[in-house]
Chains A and B, each alone.
Chain A
Amino acid sequence: MDDTRISLRAVKNEDISDIYELYRNKKIVYNNGIAFGLYSENFLKLALIDKNLLSKNVTLIAEDDGTMIGIIYYECSKPMMTGVAISIIINTINNYEKYYIQVLLSFMNYVFKQQNYYRITIYISELVIIRNKELITKMEENGFLKEGILKEERYINGKFYDTYIMGVTREDKVR
């Protein structure tokens, strides 16, 4: 796996069936620290694709050699905000940390080089951090700083979990 194989692209209607399968897979869902829900394809299409036009939320698909390995959701709807708020879902359990960082780096390149945003804020479930202990360290090596912890923000599998806020600015990335 190297940088060049990871690519990002906009979501298409045809991706909905893959996203539907992802959300049906309990292991993948819990591994990403999100709540399991029985969502229909129509609901996912409405929430992730059609809604984008109204809310300016954007869904990107991350691919490794043409295979979907993850989804990035980012929000850029507030005019005075200097950056984007994102969450990442990785469609695999093996190599989770590696893929997470690779997808994040690809997204950072896109946002800082192609889009004129000043910062990226990423929301990560405590559940992801418990299972991937090196993730925060690796993110910090790439310029991210821990900026806060939202207490008991998500309800997953019968328990409340915190959500970590990590942030990076264009200058931090360069440094």
Chain B
Amino acid sequence: MIRQGRVYLRAFEEKDMKKIWEWKNNENLARYESSNPFITMSEKEIEKAYINSSGKNCYAICLKSNDELIGEVSFWYPNILNQSTVELGVSIEEEKCKYGYGIEATVALFKIIFNNILINRISFCIGSHNFYSKGPLEKLFNCDGIIKNDRLIDGKYYDTYIYGFLRKDYDRIIHDILKL
């Protein structure tokens, strides 16, 4: 269990499946998913992806105050031949996404990644429509690029913002980060 601010990260359990099913079938949340938007998941698929998958770096985000499950955070290698960069993704349930829990979960994941895995860079991509994430992300990450008209959502084109965070920045500002 990794604690940070008001949240902690833990492994997914079978009791979480009902809530994940609701998230994966929620139209509003799907708009902000960068990987599988508008793809619904059955209970069986969820169980396979979250419980029976041994190699997945995916964590449940829970509130310290009442142990409520509020989201998920995960990381992966976008390029199998380039092991110096990981990409991460954060998803917070609709009612809780305005309170900064996502950034606390991101910092918790930073601790896991930079203290245990020899990578140099963390990337994070969001759509320009994702105004909930943009402000908090820019407190931590540098914007490395904007890919124009990269996404088509509800009939409109949106840009993709690519953010980056380097190990040397983590080493330099670790104390400030952990105060977040």
Residues of A within 8 A of B (CB): 34-35, 37, 39, 47, 51, 78-83, 118-119, 121, 145, 147-155, 160, 165, 167, 169
Contacts and interface: CB of A to CB of B under 8 A. Distances in A.
Given A147-B147, A169-B148, A80 B37 contact: yes
Interface of B: 34-39, 80-85, 120-121, 123, 142, 144-153, 157, 162, 164, 166
Contacts of B85: 150, 153-154
Contacts of B151: 80-82
A152 B149 contact: no
Contacts of A119: 147-150
A155 B147 contact: no
In the A-B complex, list the 3 residue pairs whose CB atoms are closest, starting with the nearest. A148-B145, A155-B84, A80-B37
A153 B84 CA distance: 7
Contacts of B164: 150-151, 153
B139 to A, nearest CB: 18
Contact of B153 (A80, A83, A167): A80
Contacts of A147: 145-148
Q: Interface residues of B: mostly helix, strand, loop or mixed?
A: strand
Contact of B39 (A79, A83, A167): A79
Contacts of A154: 82, 84-85
B120 to A, nearest CB: 6
B3 to A, nearest CB: 29
A172 to B, nearest CB: 9
Given A79-B38, A160-B120, A167 B84 contact: no
6 contacts: A35-B81, A80-B38, A119-B147, A149-B145, A150-B164, A155-B82
B149 A82 contact: yes
Contacts of A118: 149, 152
B141 to A, nearest CB: 11
Given A82-B157, A153-B121, A155-B120, A160 B149 contact: no
A51 B80 CA distance: 11
Contacts of A51: 80
Contact of B81 (A47, A78, A160): A47
B145 A79 contact: no
Contacts of B120: 152, 155, 160
A148 B146 CA distance: 6
Nearest to A51: B80
Contacts of A150: 85, 121, 123, 144-145, 162, 164
Nearest to B80: A47
B148 A153 contact: no
B115 to A, nearest CB: 19
A128 to B, nearest CB: 14
